[in-house]
Amino acid sequence: MADAQVRPIRIALIGAGTVGSKVASLMLEQAEDLEARSGAPLVLVGVGVKDATKSRPGIPKELITADVPGLLAKDIDIVVEVMGGIEPARTHILDAMSRGISVVTANKELLARDGATLAAAAEKNNVDLYYEASVAGAIPILRPLRESLVGDRVKKILGIVNGTTNYILTKMDETGASFKDALSEAQKLGYAETDPSADVEGKDAAAKAAIVAQLAFHTRVTIDDVYCEGITKVSASDVKAAKEMGFVIKLLAIAERLDDESIVVRVHPAMIPRSHPLASVREAFNAVFVEAEAAGSLMFYGRGAGGAPTASAVLGDLVAVARNRMSGRRGPGESIYADLKVKPVSEAMTSYYISLQVADKPGVLAQISQKIADNNVSIQTVRQDGLENDAQLVIRTHKALEKDLAKTLEDLRNLDAVREISDYMRVEGED
C-alpha cells in the first residue's frame, strides 16, 4: 500500500460522454486498486464539459465545470482528454502540456491529423502523451508495438479496426443482406450512427491506420498519407462470390514495408481466406494481425469500442503515466527516427479478384490473357462459365503493383470482347 504521506496524483477529465462517464465512475469505484497499482492516490479534481448544466449520471455534480482553463490551473498532474474532435481538444491539450501536465487521450482524429504538434509539445514540456485508447478500444496494440516489438522488425499489419463496418460485413456474410439493409440493422442496434459516413467510408479506420503505422515503422504518418476506400460499394454479389471461393470480405487497415524499405498505408475492403485468423473476427469485434521478422504472426483481438472497453485502455495509460510522475520521468517519447518514405497506394503490391462478362467466341481468352500480361500482371487462376451468348470469367491474379492492376482493369474495360467488369476486389492474407 502507498505511504500515507504520498502526494496524490491530481487528475482532470475533459469530456463526459460514454467513455468519460465510464472513466470517472471506474476511477471512483476502483480507487483503492488504482492507488495500490500507481503508488499514489489518483484524485479526480474536475470534469470539463461544454455544457455544465446537463446531468451526468455517475459524476458528482460539484466536479463538473465548463471552465476547462480554470480546471487546468488547479495544480493538475494528468489530463485525460476524451471529448474527441480537433478543436477545442487540441487547444486544451496544448494548454495542459504548457503547464507541465501529462496527457492521456483517446482522440484518434486529432492524433492522426496533427500528432506532430502534440508530440513536439510533449517533448518541449517534458510530459507524457499516451493514447492506447485511440486505436481498437480495449485491445492493447499500441503498447505491444511500442514496447514488446521494439526489438523486432514489423513487416506488415492487417487490422480490423472499425466495429461498425465489421458488424455490417458480418451481417452481409451471414444473411446475404445488401449493404443498405445491413447498415439499417446496425443503426437500429446502435452499432452505427445516424450519419454513418466516418465509419462506412473508412475515415475512422484510416485515422487508426496512421497511428498504428507510425508506431510500427518509426516514421511520421498522418491521415493524409493513408489511401482510403470504404465499404459502401461492397455488394451482396461481392459477398456471395467471396463466399463461394472460401473467402470473406473485411474492411482492412493495412500498413506494410515494401522491399525498398518504403511503406504504404491503406484502408479498403479486401477478400481474405476463411482460414485466416482475421476471418473469424465477427460482429463489432476488432483485431490486429501483425507480421514481424522474428516474432512471426501475432494477433490481438477484443472489443474495439464502447464506454467500458475504451475506459479500460484509458485507465491503463493513466496508471502508467501516474507511475512515471511518481518516479519523476516520462515514458518513451515519439519515435520517428527511421523516417521511411511513405508511398502512395499505386506502389503497393496486392492481388486482385476480377469477374467479367465477355463474348463467348474463339480467341477472347487469349486476348484477355495477353492484355493482362502486357501490364506485368500474372494470372493465378481463371475459371470460365457459359452464360447464354456470353461467358463469365473469374480471374485471380498473382501479386502485382497496384498501379499495374488498375491499368489492367482499365485496359480490360476498353476491350470490345469485354461486356462488363462485374466485380473486382483486392485479396489479402494469402502469404
**Please, which residue, 261 or 420, has the CB nearer to its own copies?**
261
The answer to whether residue 316 forms part of the interface with its own copies (CB under 8 A) is yes
Q: How far is the CB of 333 from its own copies (least distance, A)?
A: 10
DSSP state at residue 8: P
Residue 159 touching its own copies (CB under 8 A): no
The least distance separating its own copies from the CB of residue 407, rounded to whole angstroms, comes to: 36
Q: Is 427 helix (H, G, I), strand (E, B) or coil?
A: strand
Site for its own copies in 213-252 (CB under 8 A): 218
Q: Does 115 bind its own copies (CB under 8 A)?
A: no
Site for its own copies contains 86 (CB under 8 A): no
The answer to the question of residue 36 lying near its own copies (CB under 8 A) is: yes
Q: Does 273 bind its own copies (CB under 8 A)?
A: no
Question: Containing H/E element for 240?
Answer: helix 236-244
Interface with its own copies, residue 211, by CB under 8 A? no
Output the DSSP codes for 263-311: EEEEEEEEEEETTSGGGG--TTEEEEEEEETTTEEEEEEEE-SSHHHHH
Q: Specify the stretch interacting with its own copies by CB under 8 A; choose among 66-74, 118-126, 130-138, 164-172.
A: 130-138
CB of residue 106 vs its own copies: minimum separation in angstroms?
13
User: How far is residue 384's CA from residue 393's CA, in Å, rounded to a whole number?
Assistant: 5
Q: How far is 403 from 422, CA to CA, in rounded Å?
A: 20
Residue 337 lies near its own copies (rule: CB under 8 A)? yes
Helices 31-38 and 18-29: angle between axes, nearest 10 degrees? 80
CA distance readout (Å), 427 to 36, 66, 208, 406: 48, 49, 21, 14
How many angstroms separate the first and last alpha carbons of the chain? 50
Is 312 a residue that touches its own copies (CB under 8 A)? yes
The single residue listed with the C-alpha cell 504520498 is 6
Catalytic residues: 208
Residue 48 lies near its own copies (rule: CB under 8 A): no
| 314 contributes a contact to its own copies by CB under 8 A | yes
384 three-class SS: strand
Q: Measured from the CB of residue 305, what is the shortest distance to its own copies in angstroms? A: 11
Least distance CB 22 / its own copies (angstroms): 7
Q: Burial-class residue 5 by CB neighbours within 10 Å (0-12, 13-18, 19+).
A: exposed
Return the residue of 83, 138, 242, 356 that touches its own copies, per CB under 8 A: 138
**Given the rule CB under 8 A, which residues bind its own copies?**
1, 22, 26, 30, 33-34, 36-37, 132, 137-140, 143-144, 147-153, 218, 277, 280, 292-303, 306, 308-309, 311-320, 323, 327-329, 332, 335, 337-338
